[in-house]
C-alpha cells in the first residue's frame, strides 16, 4: 500500500478502511428497498395510511404548550415559563412511536422529509426573522447515531418555511443518560443546566426550537431558559409529536 501524507502506514490503512465502510454503507442504502418505517410496506418512507394515522392533538388546546385540555382557559399549569409557545403536529401514539424509532434508532434519515411536510401542514410558520434552532445532542450520542434528527427536521422545515437555521446557537454542555422511560421529575433534573448558548454573533429576537418528540417539555424548557439568559427575547418550539397527558 502506498503511503499518503500521514505519520504512519497504519494510520492510512485505518482511514482507508473507514472510507471503504462508508462507501459500502452508502451503496447498501441506495440498493436497499425503501419501506414504510411504521408498517413495512415498500415504496415510501411513510406510507399514506400510516401518515393519516398520525392523529393531530385534540381540541381545545393550551395556548402555551398546545396540549389538549378540558376547557379553553389559556395556558395550563404545566407550561414552561421560559417557553412562549410550543406546537406539535401529531399525538405520540403507536404509529408515531414506530416512526420515531426509525428516525432515531434505525438510521432512517429519509423520514425527515415527510415528517417536515406534516409539521408544515399542521403547525403555524415562524414569523419573518425567527431562527430555527434544533435541540442539540451531546457529543457521545451524536457520534453513536451519526446525525442529529432534530437538525435534519430543522433543515427541512427551514426550506419549506423560508427560514434560517442556527444549529450552532445552542450546545449540550452536560450529557445525561437517555431519557426514555424517565418520569417528569427525573427529566427535569437531567435537563436543568444541560444547555448553553455558543453563539458569537447577534442573536435574533425570536428563536423556534425544533425537536422530534415533546414528552414533558423539560428539555425544551431548559433550552429556552439558556437562550433567554443569552438575550433572546422570545422562544417558541415546534415538534413532530407530543406525548399526551392522561
What is the SS3 assignment for 195? strand
18 pLDDT band, cuts 50/70/90, is very low
24 pLDDT band, cuts 50/70/90, is very low
Residue 53's pLDDT is 96
CB proximity list for 244: less than 8 A, separation 6 or greater: 57, 67, 68, 91, 92, 93
Whole-number Å distance between alpha carbons of 202 and 200: 7
pLDDT at 164 over 90: yes
Biggest alpha carbon–alpha carbon distance for the chain: 72
Which residue would you say has higher pLDDT here, 233 or 75?
233
Whether a cis peptide bond, with omega within 30° of 0, leads into 20 is: no
pLDDT at 39 over 70: yes
Q: List the end-to-end C-alpha distance of the chain, in Å, as a whole number.
A: 63
- Listed by start position, the domains of the chain span 48-242
Average pLDDT taken over every residue of the chain: 84
Whole-number Å distance between alpha carbons of 85 and 62: 9
pLDDT at 21 over 80: no
pLDDT at 1 over 50: no
What is the value of pTM for the model shown? Answer: 0.82
Whole-number Å distance between alpha carbons of 95 and 31: 26
Residue 72's pLDDT is 67
Whole-number Å distance between alpha carbons of 72 and 62: 7
201 pLDDT band, cuts 50/70/90, is confident
From residue 224, give the alpha-carbon distance in Å to each of 8, 60, 173, 182, 221: 47, 25, 14, 21, 5
Residue holding cell 408515531?
96
Over residues 81-97, the mean pLDDT reads 95
114-152: per-residue pLDDT in tens?
999 999 999 999 999 999 999 999 999 999 999 999 999
Amino acid at each position: 500500500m502506498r503511503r499518503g501524507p500521514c505519520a504512519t502506514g497504519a494510520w492510512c490503512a485505518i482511514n482507508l478502511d473507514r472510507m471503504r465502510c462508508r462507501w459500502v454503507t452508502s451503496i447498501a442504502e441506495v440498493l436497499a428497498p425503501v419501506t414504510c418505517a411504521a408498517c413495512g410496506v415498500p415504496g415510501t418512507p411513510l406510507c399514506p395510511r400510516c401518515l393519516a394515522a398520525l392523529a393531530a392533538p385534540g381540541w381545545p388546546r393550551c395556548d402555551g404548550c398546545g396540549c389538549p385540555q378540558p376547557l379553553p382557559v389559556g395556558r395550563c399549569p404545566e407550561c414552561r415559563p421560559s417557553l412562549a409557545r410550543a406546537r406539535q403536529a401529531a399525538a405520540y401514539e403507536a404509529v408515531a412511536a414506530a416512526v420515531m424509532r426509525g428516525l432515531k434508532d434505525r438510521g432512517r434519515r429519509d423520514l425527515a422529509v415527510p415528517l417536515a411536510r406534516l409539521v408544515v401542514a399542521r403547525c403555524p410558520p415562524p414569523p419573518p426573522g425567527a431562527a430555527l434552532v434544533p435541540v442539540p445532542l451531546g457529543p457521545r450520542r451524536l457520534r453513536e447515531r451519526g446525525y442529529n434528527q432534530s437538525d435534519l427536521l430543522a433543515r427541512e422545515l427551514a426550506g419549506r418555511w423560508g427560514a434560517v437555521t442556527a444549529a450552532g446557537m445552542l450546545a449540550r454542555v452536560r450529557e445525561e443518560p437517555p431519557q426514555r422511560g424517565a418520569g417528569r421529575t427525573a427529566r427535569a433534573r437531567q435537563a436543568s443546566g444541560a444547555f448553553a448558548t455558543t453563539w458569537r454573533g447577534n442573536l435574533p429576537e425570536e428563536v423556534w426550537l425544533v425537536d422530534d418528540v415533546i414528552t414533558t417539555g423539560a428539555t425544551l424548557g431548559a433550552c429556552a431558559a439558556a437562550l433567554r439568559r443569552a438575550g433572546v427575547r422570545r422562544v417558541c418550539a415546534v415538534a413532530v409529536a407530543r406525548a399526551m397527558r392522561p
